[in-house]
Amino acid sequence: MSKRVSKVGWIIMAALLCVSLAILPACGGGGAIPYKNPGVFVQQTIGRIDSLDPCYCYDTASGEQIYYMYEGLLGYNGTSTDTFVGLMATDYYWVNSTSLRFNIRPGVRFSNGDNMTVADVEYSFERAMVEDPDYGPVWMFYFPLLDTYGSRNSTGNITITSAEIDHAVEVVNSTCIEFNFVRPFPATTWYQIVCGSWGSIVDKAYCVAHGDWPGSWGNWTLYNNPAQTNLVLQSRAMGTGPWALDTWTPPGEIKLVKNDYYWNAGVHAVPFDRVLTQFVDSWPSRKLALLAGDCDIAYCPRTNIADLAGVADVNAVSGLPELTIDSFYFNQNITSTTTYAGSKTLDGNGISLDFFSDINVRKGFTYAFDWATYIAQAMQGEATQRGSPFVYGLPYFNPAANMYSKNLTLAKYYLEHSAWGNLTAIGFKFTLIYNTGNLVRKTACEILANNLFAISPNFQVAVLAKDWSSTMSLIRGRTWVMFQIGWLPDYADPDNYAVPYMHSQGTFSGPASFNNATVDALIAEGAISTNTTRRQEIYYALQQAWYDQLPGIILAQPLGRRFFTKYISGFEFNPTTCGQPGNLYYMSKSES
Amino acid sequence: MELRSYIIRRVLLLIPVLIGVTLFIFGITMLFPPAQRATLYVTNMRQLSDLPAIIQKYGLDKPFFVQYGTWLNQVLHGNLGWSRAISMPVAQAIPHLLPATLELAIFAVPLIVLVGIFLGTKAATHKDKPLDHGTRVVAILGWSLPSFWLGLVLMMIFYGYFSGLLPPGRLGVQMDILVDSAAFIRYTHINTIDAILNLNGPVLLDALRHLILPVMTLSVINMAFIMRLMRSSMLESLGKGYILTARAKGLAEKVVVNKHARRNALIPVITVSGYLFAGLASGAVITETIFSFKGIGWWAWQAAVMLDIPSVLAFALFTATLFVVINLLVDILYTRVDPRVRLGGAVQ
């Protein structure tokens, strides 16, 4: 009896499979996308908002919403990453090499009707430095203004004084604010920093009325490092941007309404009465919503871009160079507790813990990587090989920088001539890890493993998936043999790439034990040099240093894509802007 | 009096149950190394270098009972912690997410149970006839279909093919904006109930339109079990001596089946239905995810993936409480269905 039922079950399953295979290709994408929700911009994307407080937010999903609701002193000029337009400032000038003044735009009002004054600007920056939440973005203010990376030391004790914060941002008069730097600082870098969501101007009166730091220095330390639950602007917002917060309903969606007081509406009307961002985890749901006209833009994973190819009413904007880069990093000093280095000795069944400290090993591995296959298969052809972490779109990017290419003969040569002897004879075995679900990284691992095996069958590299939290802790614990990681910058300056990738204390280079005093010195000089010629020399030298020292294998700079319905126009791509739609203020939606 | 003391005893039993469940869950999470648990607090790659500081700040490397004691102390002071999975206090997250899950359960469970009982009864009374075979096929289908597959296929047909007919989510854009406006009062945050209380037909219709597919997905899969359970329970009842007596007395077949056989056959179904409701009310992870019906199940899944321990523990507390309460209600319901059952004692 049970056998008969099981047979019936299999027949039914097979029938269902056939039916679904027949039906599914026909579902979606067949008809014209209807025009829905005029005046409302609907976005479906992934992720979640962590906080709406500009001084706490350090993730792109939250930053995108902050950009819609707030404005800073400056904004990026269209698609440029190093020219700027005044938003809350009308103009700016250097008084001397360490003092920068901004004239504040008159007639600007917050979305509750309050006038924006110079006191609000001063409060916004001082509030950020007073509160300085743990692991937040405020270090970007502290470093140029006070030569420190935060208000507290490693034990949590406050190490700065109120006078220092107060002096860093001063009101000059009713229309002018001044930033006082501890030493000359690259102007463009500071402009980029104030363009970030952390540079948003908040309404002082609104914040104080809701229990935030009152703006006085008597008990300011009480407001330092607040718990997220105590952040006044965690789930509230009061800015001068084109939209204001209507409701935020975690985890599903956030709704914004038009700011009736928007300062520039007389010149360029706010294009949408409402902006809805819906967080939808499932790609089929997002895709169908786009095709049904229920959303105007849907986030499409790279592996699914073929799903929307040729759909008539979907506008695909492609070839957008993102300021991100993925790379393999060589761990030159693996922790002895690792379980990924085989026998942990170079005996054919493992690798020694300092295996990658030899430049010839690193060169051999690099020559074994196949960028063309990686770009074609993993990146669907939408990426460009780069030779160092300094990607196209950044100032001082060297388009003629040296790059490696796949060469198995050279790879074999270097591996035969390693400091550890002829590796093709000795052999090695280890495990490459990627974060679960990341098919792009999985493909990169497989390309490297297969090519090494092609050089010598004694080169045994296993590929293993681990969840994201594991991968992060393994990197930090230095138990990885090689780790694959990406980087999204805080601001579009090469220093923001040089430190994590190449400094001995960097986010990635630190755990990988890459340590080069000359490189450290160049990075330190580049961070604060105000001489653009010298900065170019420094960053060109660092790009060459990457080629020479090979801390890792730089893979490719992705080219992004956006999928809009045909009713949306005006999209312009700036790689520094958070979120898929970019600058919504200049977009529009119309049936015609 | 007997009932009251029974309820008090069962409620008191909740305390060791909750301690046991949370100890167990806490113990499992402690199997992950501190650095891995610390990644919960990382929202930006730059914070990777802060992992040691995070471990120290949150005491993630302290002994198991110290960490558990700290958490328990917070709970006893009314602080369930912060849910990173949803960026709000855990104590707010549960009431915030429960309406979506409850709305699904409220519509799905009656449908599953009533249709399951009806079809199970029919299958038993038509044993080995075409109707029985037909329900068997339906049951096998229900058992065989993975919910993610069924959900996706239903959505592709009713949302994709019939462009936008039955959309995912809880409400369409326009109704969503309306319910958040001052013109609409959110009494329960269960859209259908609020729409009725606000006498708002368009919102009610839109909410129902969004409920059809997730409810259908849950129903098809769960109904099969109730149906087969009811069938076997009915067959057992129909073979009992008192049914033979009832028929010998000349009672109509309808009365024999509905009054005598079905009533006794319902006891196991009531037990399972209670658990089914508790299961659905504590979240239908896949259905909530596919249809963007984000409720407790989605939250629990996110929390588990992120190693969001305060949320996972709160979910465990919530689920354990729910199951104990539902169990209690099922026990009380037994006395209604079968007068021989006395609470606190055996079947007489």
| Cα B267 from Cα B330, distance rounded (Å) | 9
B50 chain-A contacts, CB cut-off 8 A: 134-135
A338 chain-B contacts, CB cut-off 8 A: none
> Cβ contact (<8 Å) for B137 and A8?
yes
Residue B163 forms contact with A (CB below 8 Å): yes
Residue of B nearest to A30 (CA): B161
A510 chain-B contacts, CB cut-off 8 A: 49
Out of B48, B161, B172, the one facing A475 most closely (by C-beta) is: B48
Distance (Å) from the C-alpha of residue B206 to the closest C-alpha of chain A?
14
Q: What residue type is A152 in one-letter code? A: R
A258 chain-B contacts, CB cut-off 8 A: none
Residue of B nearest to A499 (CA): B46
A274 chain-B contacts, CB cut-off 8 A: 177
pLDDT score for A275 = 97
ipTM at complex level: 0.80
Residue A254 forms contact with B (CB below 8 Å): no
Out of B82, B136, B141, the one facing A228 most closely (by C-beta) is: B82
Q: Per residue in B86-97, pLDDT tens? A: 888 888 999 999
Residue A468 forms contact with B (CB below 8 Å): yes
pLDDT score for A12 = 55
> Cβ contact (<8 Å) for A23 and B302?
no
Judged against a pLDDT cut of 50, whether residue B312 lies above it is answered with yes
A96 CB neighbour count, 10 Å cutoff: 9
Angle formed by the axes of helices A532-549 and A495-502, nearest 10°: 30
Distance (Å) from the C-alpha of residue A376 to the closest C-alpha of chain B?
27
Residue A376 forms contact with B (CB below 8 Å): no
* B97-337 is classed CATH 1.10.3720.10: yes
A115 secondary structure, DSSP code: B
Q: Which domains does chain A have, with CATH numbers?
A: 60-242 (3.90.76.10), 325-558 (3.10.105.10)
Length of chain B: 348
Mean pLDDT of chain B: 87
Judged against a pLDDT cut of 80, whether residue B44 lies above it is answered with no
The number of angstroms, rounded, from the C-alpha of B16 to the middle of its chain's C-alpha atoms is 23
Which residues, 6 or more positions from A266, have their beta carbon under 8 angstroms from its beta carbon? Answer: none
Judged against a pLDDT cut of 80, whether residue B42 lies above it is answered with no
B298: left (phi over 0), alpha (psi -120 to 50) or beta: alpha
Half-sphere exposure for B190 (CA within 13 Å, toward CB): 14
Cβ neighbourhood burial of B230 (10 Å; 0-12, 13-18, 19+): buried
Which residues, 6 or more positions from A588, have their beta carbon under 8 angstroms from its beta carbon? Answer: A271, A568, A569, A570
Element (H, E) at A463: strand A459-466
Residue A499 forms contact with B (CB below 8 Å): no
- Pair of tokens at residue A258: 């038009």
pLDDT score for A229 = 84
Out of B52, B96, B160, the one facing A28 most closely (by C-beta) is: B160
The phi and psi torsions of A274 (rounded to 5 degrees) equal -140, 150
Residue of B nearest to A135 (CA): B47
- Pair of tokens at residue A327: 């790379």
Whose CA is closest to B280, among B267, B295, B270? B295
Which residues, 6 or more positions from B272, have their beta carbon under 8 angstroms from its beta carbon? Answer: B225, B226, B229
- Give the angle subtended at the CA of A87 by the CAs of A232 and A62, to the nearest 5°: 40
B51 chain-A contacts, CB cut-off 8 A: 472-473, 476
Whose CA is closest to A429, among A341, A329, A332, A330? A341
3-state secondary structure of A422: coil
Q: Report whether A379 contacts A426 (CB < 8 A).
A: no
A36-61 core/surface letters (b: 16 or more CB in 10 A; e: else): bbeebbbbbbebbbbbbbbbbbbbbb
| Cα A63 from Cα A196, distance rounded (Å) | 8
> Cβ contact (<8 Å) for A58 and B41?
no
The phi and psi torsions of A81 (rounded to 5 degrees) equal -105, -5
pLDDT score for A506 = 84
| Cα B318 from Cα B18, distance rounded (Å) | 9
Whose CA is closest to A244, among A253, A256, A252, A255? A256
Q: Which of B128, B292, B308 to mutate to test the interface with A (most CBs of A within 10 A)?
A: B292
> Cβ contact (<8 Å) for A134 and B50?
yes
B148: left (phi over 0), alpha (psi -120 to 50) or beta: alpha
pLDDT score for A29 = 46
Q: Please tell me the least confidently modeled range out of A19-23, A104-108, B53-57, B189-193.
A: A19-23
> Cβ contact (<8 Å) for B163 and A253?
no
Q: Per residue in A519-573, pLDDT tens? A: 999 999 999 999 999 999 999 999 999 999 999 999 999 999 999 999 999 999 9
Name residues of chain A where pLDDT drops below 50: 1-5, 25-29
| Cα A504 from Cα A332, distance rounded (Å) | 12
From residue A344, alpha-carbon distances to A336, A353, A354, A510 in Å are 8, 6, 10, 21
Cβ neighbourhood burial of B104 (10 Å; 0-12, 13-18, 19+): buried
Give A325-345 as a DSSP string: EEEEEE-SS--TT-SSSBTSS
pLDDT score for A561 = 92
Region B1-24: what's the mean pLDDT? 82
Judged against a pLDDT cut of 60, whether residue B320 lies above it is answered with yes
A342 CB neighbour count, 10 Å cutoff: 20
Q: Report whether A18 contacts B153 (CB < 8 A).
A: no
Out of B52, B54, B156, the one facing A28 most closely (by C-beta) is: B156
3-state secondary structure of A275: strand
| Segments making up each domain of chain B, as ranges | 2-89, 97-337
- Give the angle subtended at the CA of A277 by the CAs of B153 and A558, to the nearest 5°: 80
A304 secondary structure, DSSP code: G
| Cα B276 from Cα B115, distance rounded (Å) | 14
More confident residue, A525 or B26: A525
Distance (Å) from the C-alpha of residue B340 to the closest C-alpha of chain A?
36
More confident residue, B210 or B19: B210
pLDDT score for B122 = 92
pLDDT score for B338 = 72
B291 chain-A contacts, CB cut-off 8 A: 285
> Cβ contact (<8 Å) for A469 and B40?
yes
| Cα B101 from Cα A273, distance rounded (Å) | 31
A174 CB neighbour count, 10 Å cutoff: 10
Residue of A nearest to B37 (CA): A469
Q: Per residue in B266-301, pLDDT tens? A: 888 888 888 888 888 877 888 998 898 889 998 988
Residue of B nearest to A487 (CA): B45
